Amino acid sequence: MITEDIARAFAAAIRADDAPANQALWADDIVSLEPHGGDGARVEGRAALLAKHVWWEAHATMHSFVTEGPFVFGDQFALHFTMDVTMQGERVQAREIALYTVRDGKIAEERFFSEVSG
C-alpha cells in the first residue's frame, strides 16, 4: 500500500473505533512520541504501544472524539483530533495533531502535538 492508502485506512479505523484494524497498520518496531515527559513519552515496539493503549483506556473517559484528515505528504500523514475527555477526575478539551511516518508499508512512527484546556 502507498502512504495515501494507509492514511485513509488508518483514519477510517480510528473513526470506527476499530483497534484491530488500526493496529494491523503498525510496524513491529513502531515508535510513539508524546509531548509530555515521563512514562509513555516515548514507547518503542508493538507490545509497548499496546500497553500504552491499555493504560489510556483504563484512565480516560472519552465524552467525544472527532478525527479530521488524513493530510498526506510524501511518506507522512497527519490526523487532527479534537476530544472532550476526563482523566483522573479532570475534564478537559484537547486538540492533537498526530503525525505518522510510513516505512515499508506500515506506520513506523507516530508523533503527537497537543493543546489542552480545562
pLDDT tier for residue 39 given thresholds of 50, 70 and 90: confident
Which CATH number do you get for residue 10?
Answer: 3.10.450.50
For the chain, the 3-state helix, strand and coil shares in percent, each to the nearest 5, are 25, 55, 20
- CB neighbour class for 118 (10 Å; exposed up to 12, middle 13-18, buried from 19): exposed
The structural domain count of the chain equals: 1
Are the C-beta atoms of residues 12 and 5 closer than 8 Å to each other? no
- Is pLDDT above 70 for 37? yes
| Domain enclosing residue 105, as ranges | 3-117
- Radius of gyration of the chain from its Cα atoms, rounded to whole angstroms: 14
Between CA 13 and CA 25 the distance in angstroms is: 10
Percent of the chain exceeding pLDDT 70 equals 99
**How high is the pLDDT of residue 118?**
65
Does 4 have pLDDT greater than 80? yes
Mean pLDDT of the 46-63 span:
93
For residue 102, the model assigns a pLDDT of: 98
Tens digit of pLDDT for each residue in 78-104? 999 999 999 889 999 999 999 999 999
pTM: 0.93
